[in-house]
Chain A
């Protein structure tokens, strides 16, 4: 398995429900970021959490980071149809290399009306 694996691979929920996606990684990190990608489009940065942070909020998004378990979760509350997209976690390493990120395989979220 590779650095940054999301779970589940696919998630289908009803509008208004919460969506939780998990990400596991292998090596030590400096930070972890979550991105959204609509079909056929580029990546939109959602949130960055540093290795010394445990939880971060941004609007309807809540991200947690557990470095002891090498895992992170993304919670989207009160989901909307417009949240339908693929969500990726990406880790930034401790060594040099600027902001080289390692991406997971993504969770495809579908929010139905």
Chain B
């Protein structure tokens, strides 16, 4: 039973380019979360999605960042026109349907973005 799969694991982008990070949730999970971890810090919530719906995007920067979770395929976190400050580890997590607080959420191994 595969866990939360993220790719790429490592991504290098030049300033101004676009970064696309993918996340396939655990089998049977329909809720996806994206978190960002800056160096030496804890994880910060970015966005919570269900299939074809953004439920909570209160942690998303207002510009350049977007997320989707289409009916088919993985969830995508897209960062346009990347800047050096976007360099971080981006973690995806998933949880089962129902989404009630108290369910364990499972994290992927992360995607490390480096902007040069």
Interface residues of A (CB under 8 A from B): 4, 30-31, 33, 35, 40-45, 48, 50, 88, 90, 92-94, 97-106
A33 with B104: CB separation less than 8 A: yes
B107 within 8 A of A: yes
A88 with B42: CB separation less than 8 A: yes
**Distance of A85 from chain B, by nearest CB (Å):** 14
B109 with A41: CB separation less than 8 A: yes
Q: Do A97 and B104 contact each other (CB < 8 Å), given the known contacts A42-B110, A105-B41?
A: no
The secondary structure that dominates the A interface is: strand
A–B pairs, 22, beta carbons within 8 Å: A31-B102, A41-B110, A42-B4, A42-B91, A44-B107, A45-B106, A88-B43, A94-B101, A97-B48, A97-B55, A98-B55, A98-B95, A99-B31, A99-B95, A99-B104, A99-B105, A100-B45, A101-B45, A103-B42, A104-B42, A105-B41, A106-B42
Chain A residues, CB < 8 A from B104: 33, 45, 48, 99
The chain A residue sitting closest to B6, CB to CB, is A42
B69 within 8 A of A: no
Q: How far apart are the CA atoms of A41 and B33 in the complex, in Å?
A: 17
B108 within 8 A of A: yes
- From 81 to 116 in chain B, residues with beta carbon under 8 angstroms from any chain A beta carbon are 91, 93, 95, 99-110, 112
